[in-house]
Structure 1
């Protein structure tokens, strides 16, 4: 087995893991769910669910990863001692490859809009950059995958960590700068009210609570092994509960910052004559990012081209910090289990993702929505449920305690150890099962 890399610093791990969690879903999913579900009431429930549901599952992945020093397939097989672990790990690897396939298509759209925004500064108009077409989708999807491949080829400290400590601060600077600018525009105050003024009457609506749980769970990229693999690169002396809490806090912070940017921007767009509602609901997803906000930037004149460039640069960075963690999951398996060189494994898997993404592009109407639903609505929650079963029921409790003691000898006396073992054993599986039941129905 090839020697495994390690994160060289605590900050490097936190930024890499938070970067994995911070993706396009945080920036276009969280804000519109906030606006549609009672503003600050949703934010409060989201914060509760992030620590009541997502954090315990995150800790399960980190502990399993560091203890077993292996990819998801080998780690779960080691715990189960039979083929069940192999099957679960394999499903996780397949799921993350499929997610990366559709994710790279969307990220390619971001790159094309970024280039278009930059060229518009020089009054160069290339309509094909933003026109939906098969050649454009394949070209920019391939460009994004090349970026991802280059980072992952560098390894843990020289690739993933090195780029994460540059990309994440850049992402945060861009978000804050855009928040400040958008907040000075007419209509922004209405957006701030939609974000910050809670509709208390809706706080305990079943639909809001389920949405908050789903957003908290999926925003931390749980269930598909990204955090498990990153955990396998963490040094033994690190205090895992504190490390996991730091990752969760950064992810939550970026989601809230995204809300502070997107929701005021939508109401600024409304003030400028851009339609932001469809059938009585706020527009979200691709329509929001590729139609509503570009229309807003157009109304701003030359300044809008600068703001648009910064915004799509932000989106590309958010996509890249997530994609490198996704690609690392199957790469880790080929390096660990098959003894393959990292460069060869990365190129091979990038080519596989490119082929799958191309198939989706060529059969877009049939496959794009289907793959998204299959992976994020069905596979991810089931994998999260099974990971809780591994950590709570299959893996011996003493082994977990011994692993945690390597980073904190007094962990047995902490509030974390008094709550987490039974919580991940009983509460998390029930909650995730309820969320899955609702999503199916």
Structure 2
């Protein structure tokens, strides 16, 4: 406890770090306040929205703003969708590839294109949200007027959330976009714990404690999955620059066990509604189609989770293949005079990196699939739906990744001021990429 208090004193003794933390808290407070403001013309008592499937996951990311018909009902998610689309375009179209290689000016142009695309994505999602999600009995004004005004409000709300995220990145601590998503997830945790405690009652206190202990170990497992890397040694040849000899150092190429992050779970979750949707078209004519619809509408069924796990494994290999390019890594190493001991530069190096990547991707994909289906297992064991969602899946991985990234930035400030780090045993290593990466 004494070391913890000393660490807090060191953190707040650094003026810049203290200012950034206070700015982050201010921006987060504004975000949470806006998430509670209901759209004009909506009667909150008549909403009773319980999103399921992908919409339920979206509502979790937004801290319940989606189900409350808030002015931030779409939150930052349209911006993330636009960012993912631009990233895929940079892999497919030479025009965007060239723009990405132009340095800072190219990144600024890509960011501007992403923001413009966000406006169109938000407007399209807002129209769908207003027409299919909010019930007519909850609208207290003219439906046409309500939809027109609400489209502008929801679009402005998403743009404001995007601005808040950028301000947190520039003036606060951590990645702003990821921070807003994490805050939305964490905001539901106290209510989930309270609901689980009430469901257990006074006679289930020991069982509730065991659930908290199990949650702790699950979080530790998610940390291991996020942080695990396979280090490939790289030797740099000595070079003569002027009158000095440089190089000759040994460094390491870190290949992550889970290089794809949370994207495979998000992609797989987006496709899991397809079997139920297709079966619903033939449910009246076929008993088999009706049973398929019932099975895949239940996220705790073994058929649902087997297909979910398979999709996650497939998308993990796919996303790793497009995000980690062994050929480019081998070329960069060759240009900088680096080589892997015992492996010839060029094609052989690329082959070696590809083989190592394939070997670590499979266990990483299996672990990611296990983490993704843990909420269903927890629900089958009798936990409440809200509490079981924190036992794995996208929510847990996002929280772990954002917390580690934030702690890494805080520790960097402490080490620059020659304070001890956050942990006596070693430095904190977090993610440097954002959720959209």
Answer whether TM exceeds 0.5 for this pair: no
Which of these two proteins has the greater Rg computed from alpha carbons?
A: 2
**With structure 1 as the length reference, what TM-score do the two structures score?**
0.29
**With structure 2 as the length reference, what TM-score do the two structures score?**
0.29
Instruction: Compare the two structures and name the one with the higher helix fraction.
Output: 1
Larger relative contact order (Cα-Cα within 8 Å, sequence gap ≥ 6)? 1
